[in-house]
Structure 1
C-alpha cells in the first residue's frame, strides 16, 4: 500500500500507509520466492529415440560409367557453416543472399511471430506472482428519514460521505506445477517458433540460390540460341546464294529458314523464363520486380564438394526436425497443465486500505482496515471434462511423436534423393559431353560436305538440330546439377545446428 499522492496527508499517516503497503505487498511477493515449491504432477519429457542408419546409402562406393568407382568427396573442414552459399564462389549470389536475410518479408513475418511467442512466455511467467490492484472511490449517501429509530438517529444529518482506498492482493501458489508446466509449454512453443524462423530462412535462401542458377542457365541457353541464330543466318545466306546460282533448290532454302526461325523462337522462350526467374528473385530479396534486374551472364559455376556427414547428425542440423522435437516437448508440458486440474487449488487473497466518512480523516490510523485468508477448492464432478481433455492432450502428444519421426524420415529421404541426383547427374554430364562432341563432329562434316556440294542441305539441317538438342540437354543437366547441389545443402540443414536454438531460459528472458 502506498500513498496515492493525490491528496495531502500527515507525515504519520504517510508512514503508516507506506509501512502497511510494504507489509502486504512484500509478504505476498516473497511467497513464490521464499523457496516454496509444490509438486509437479506432469509427465517427465524424454526425447523419443529414432534409429538412424550408420551411413547414407548414396555415400557408398558407386560404379561409374567407365567402370571406375565413384564416391563423393569429403572436404577437410567437415561441415557447412554460416553463409553456406559462399561455397559456390558467386559474388552476385552472395550479395543477393545478404540482401535476402535483411529484406525478405517471409523472414520478417516469422521473426515477428517468434517475438510474439516470447511475449507469451512472459505472460505465463506472470502467474508466478501475486496480482495487486488499487482503486480509490468516493460516494455520497443519504439515509431514509421514514424508519422510526433510524429516522431519529439520522435526523440531524441524513447525508454521509464514504472515502475508500482499498488495496486487493490475490495469489494462487503453484502447488501442482500448473504454472511451471504452462511456462514450459509457452517456452517450448517459442523454441518451435525460433526453429520455424530458421527453417524459413533456409528455405528462402535455398530458393534464391536455385532461382539464381536457373536464371544463369537461361542466360546460357540464350547465348547458345544466339550463336545458333548466327550460324543459321549464315547458312541461310549461303543457301539462297546457291539457290540463285542453280546449285540448290527451294526446299533447301525452306529448311534453312525453318532452322533460323526455330532458333529465334527458342531464344525468345528462354527470355521469358529468365524474366520470370528474375522476378522471383526480386520477390525473395524484398524488391519490386519492376525496378529489379540481374546482369546477364551464362552459367559457368561448377557444383562444389559438399560435406555430408552421417545420418544421425541430421537430428541436430535441420531446423524442421528441431521444431518437430520442440513441438513434442510443448505437448508434453500441456499434459502436465491438464493433470494439475485433478488436484485442489489454493488461492490466498488479502485486502487492506482506508475508509472514512470525512476527507480529513481518510488516511488517519483509525480508518485502516484489512483482511486476509486462503481459499481451497476442488472439482468433484465435471461430467468427464478433465478425463476427456487429458485423453485429447495425450493423443495430440502421440500425434506429435509420429510427426517428429516422419520429419526425420523425410530428412533421410531428401538427403538420399539429392545425393543420388548429384551422383547420377555427374555421370550423365560426362556422357552428355561425349554426345555433344560427337554431334559437333557430325555437324562439322555435314556442313563441309554441303559447302562442297557433296550432300544436300537436309543433312546439315538434321545435324544442326541434333547438335542444338544435345547442347540444350547439356545446359539443362548443369542447371539440374546446381539445383541438386543446393537441395543437398538444404537437406543437410544449411550449416545450422541445434546449439543455435535458444534455450527455454533464453526465450523466457526479458529483452532489453
Structure 2
C-alpha cells in the first residue's frame, strides 16, 4: 500500500513539474503594445500640461448645480442601459467562476438500473440454449481530471478575466456617457429657456414697433409696406417661439427617458447661474488608458483575444487526462451494499491530436485574426480618444473670446436699431434699415446664448473625453 502511495506521489510531482515548465514554454505573457501610446496623442499647442487630470475629479465637483446633481443621481439609479450593463457584468462573472473551476476534477454520482436479455439466435445464445434475464443494480461515482500541462486552462481563465473586466469597463462607459448626456441636455434646456425669454421680449418689442409704424403711416411718414414688414417680423418671432417650445418639450422627453421615467417636465435653474469649474490640466497620454472606459474596454478585449490565442496554440500538444469510476454493483439488490459488490477502475491517457479535420489549425488561425482585429480596435480607440480631447480643448478654449466678440456685436446692433428707428421717426431713413437691424440684433442675442451653451457643452465633452464621469 505504501509503495502505491509513493508511486502516486511521484506521478503527481512529475506532472506538476512538467506542467509548470511546459506552460511557461507555451504560454506568452501579455504586454501592452508600446506603439499605441504616443506622448503627442492630443494637441496641446496653447495649453500647459500637468500631472493631474480633471477626469480624476468626481462629477459632483464638476456639475455643482444641485438640481442637475439630482437628475444625474436619479439617472444613475434608474437608467435601463446601466441596469443592462450590470447584468452583463453578472453574466461575465459567472463565466469567470466557471473558468476557475476548470482546474478541479469533475465528479458525478448516481444510481443505475440495467435490464438485459440475450438473443437466442446468436452464438452466445446457442451455447446457453435458453433465454435468460438479468437485472443489475449499481451506484457509481465517476471522476475526471485534466492536467493543465501547456497552460490552456490558465489561458482560458485569463481570457475570461479580461472578458469580465471588459464588461466592468463597459459599465463605466455607460455611466460616463449618461452623466455627460444628462449634463449636456440640462444645459441645452437652460439655453432654450434663455432663448425663449429673448424671443418673448422681442415679440413685445416688435408689437410696440408695429403700433408705432401704424401711427407713422397715419401721419404720412411711412407707407403700408413698412406696416406689413413690421407685422411680418411679429409673426416671425411668434413662429420662433412655437419652435423653441417644441424643442424644449422634446428635450424634456429625452431627459426623462435617460432617467428611466415617463416623459414629464424637467425641473431646472437658469443659464446665468451656471458655473463649470473646468481647469484644463491634461496630464500625460497614458492617463487616458487608465481613465477612459472605452479605451480600457478595448485593451481588455485585446487581452482576451491574446489569451484565447495561447489556449488555441496549446491544443496542438498532447492532453493528459485521468479518469476513474467506482462504487457498488450487483445483480441482486439485497447484496448491493456488500463488500463483494465494490468495484473501481482508474485510467490515465495522453492524447496527441494528429488528424482533426483541420479544426485545431482553423481555431488557431481565427484566434490570430481576432487578436489582430482587437489590437487595431485598441489603437483606434486610443487615437479616437486623442481626437476627442483635441476637439474639446479647441472649442472650450476659444469660447470666452467668441462670447466677448458676440456681445460687442449685439451692442452694435442694438445701437443700430435705436439710431435707425430715430432717423425713421424724423423721415431721414428707410424703414428697411430698422427691420434689418432688428433681425440682426435678435440673431446676435440668440447666438450669445448658443455660445454660452457651447462653452459648457465643450467643458462636458472635455471632461468625458479625458475619462471623467464614471467615478
Q: TM-score, normalised by structure 2?
A: 0.88
Matching residue within 241, 247, 252 for 1:267: 241
SS of structure 2 residue aligned to 1:281 = helix
Shift of residue 254 of structure 1? 1.0
Q: Flag the 1:225–1:372 CA change in 2: closer, same or farther, 3 A.
A: same
Q: Flag the 1:325–1:78 CA change in 2: closer, same or farther, 3 A.
A: closer
Matching residue within 45, 52, 57 for 2:43: 57
2:27 corresponding residue in structure 1: 42
Q: Flag the 1:383–1:56 CA change in 2: closer, same or farther, 3 A.
A: closer
CA deviation string 1:244-297 (max 9, x = no partner) = 3444322221121011111111111111211121111111111112xx211465
Q: Are 1:422 and 1:484, in contact at CA under 8 Å, matched by a contact in 2? A: yes
Matching residue within 423, 431, 439 for 2:413: 439
Write the mapping of 1:341-352 to structure 2, written as runs, cut at 5 A.
Answer: 341-352=315-326
Separation in structure 2 between the aligned mates of residue 342 and residue 197 of structure 1, nearest angstrom: 37
SS of structure 2 residue aligned to 1:135 = strand
Separation in structure 2 between the aligned mates of residue 144 and residue 321 of structure 1, nearest angstrom: 69
2:356 corresponding residue in structure 1: 382
Separation in structure 2 between the aligned mates of residue 375 and residue 296 of structure 1, nearest angstrom: 71
Q: Does 1:106 align with 2:81?
A: yes
Q: Does 1:372 align with 2:357?
A: no
CA deviation string 1:50-99 (max 9, x = no partner) = 342258533x44xxxxxxxxx5898x985344532542322221111101
Separation in structure 2 between the aligned mates of residue 446 and residue 407 of structure 1, nearest angstrom: 55
1:19 corresponding residue in structure 2: none
Q: Are 1:56 and 1:310, in contact at CA under 8 Å, matched by a contact in 2? A: no
CA deviation string 1:382-421 (max 9, x = no partner) = 3544334323322322222222122111111110111111
2:5 corresponding residue in structure 1: none
Q: Flag the 1:78–1:122 CA change in 2: closer, same or farther, 3 A.
A: closer
Matching residue within 187, 192, 197 for 1:218: 192
Q: Are 1:220 and 1:297, in contact at CA under 8 Å, matched by a contact in 2? A: no
Separation in structure 1 between the aligned mates of residue 268 and residue 425 of structure 2, nearest angstrom: 35
1:305 corresponding residue in structure 2: 278
Q: Are 1:73 and 1:305, in contact at CA under 8 Å, matched by a contact in 2? A: no
Q: Are 1:199 and 1:320, in contact at CA under 8 Å, matched by a contact in 2? A: yes
Unaligned stretches of 5+ residues in structure 2: 1-7
Write the mapping of 1:216-295 to structure 2, written as runs, cut at 5 A.
Answer: 216-289=190-263, 292-295=264-267
Separation in structure 2 between the aligned mates of residue 414 and residue 145 of structure 1, nearest angstrom: 83
Shift of residue 202 of structure 1? 0.8
1:505 corresponding residue in structure 2: none
Matching residue within 183, 195, 211 for 1:209: 183
Write the mapping of 1:147-226 to structure 2, written as runs, cut at 5 A.
Answer: 150=128, 160-226=134-200
CA deviation string 1:272-329 (max 9, x = no partner) = 211121111111111112xx21146542224432343233321221111111111111
Q: Are 1:317 and 1:495, in contact at CA under 8 Å, matched by a contact in 2? A: no
1:126 corresponding residue in structure 2: 101
Shift of residue 333 of structure 1? 0.5
Separation in structure 2 between the aligned mates of residue 386 and residue 161 of structure 1, nearest angstrom: 44
Separation in structure 1 between the aligned mates of residue 142 and residue 78 of structure 2, nearest angstrom: 48
* Structure with greater helix percent: 2
Q: Flag the 1:363–1:467 CA change in 2: closer, same or farther, 3 A.
A: same
Shift of residue 454 of structure 1? 4.7
Shift of residue 466 of structure 1? 1.5
Q: Are 2:52 and 2:283, in contact at CA under 8 Å, matched by a contact in 1? A: no
Q: Are 1:85 and 1:209, in contact at CA under 8 Å, matched by a contact in 2? A: no
SS of structure 1 residue aligned to 2:315 = helix
Q: Flag the 1:463–1:79 CA change in 2: closer, same or farther, 3 A.
A: closer
Q: Which moved more, 1:182-191 or 1:139-148?
A: 139-148
Separation in structure 2 between the aligned mates of residue 317 and residue 192 of structure 1, nearest angstrom: 14
CA deviation string 1:107-162 (max 9, x = no partner) = 1111111111111111222221111112212345567899677459x9xxx55532
Q: Flag the 1:259–1:495 CA change in 2: closer, same or farther, 3 A.
A: closer
Q: Flag the 1:483–1:173 CA change in 2: closer, same or farther, 3 A.
A: same
SS of structure 2 residue aligned to 1:370 = strand
SS of structure 2 residue aligned to 1:464 = helix
Q: How big is the alpha-carbon RMSD for the aligned residues of Structure 1 and Structure 2?
A: 2.8
Q: TM-score, normalised by structure 1?
A: 0.81
Q: Are 2:424 and 2:430, in contact at CA under 8 Å, matched by a contact in 1? A: yes
Q: Which moved more, 1:196-205 or 1:299-308?
A: 299-308
Q: Are 1:350 and 1:373, in contact at CA under 8 Å, matched by a contact in 2? A: yes
Give the total of aligned pairs.
Answer: 451
Separation in structure 2 between the aligned mates of residue 108 and residue 134 of structure 1, nearest angstrom: 39
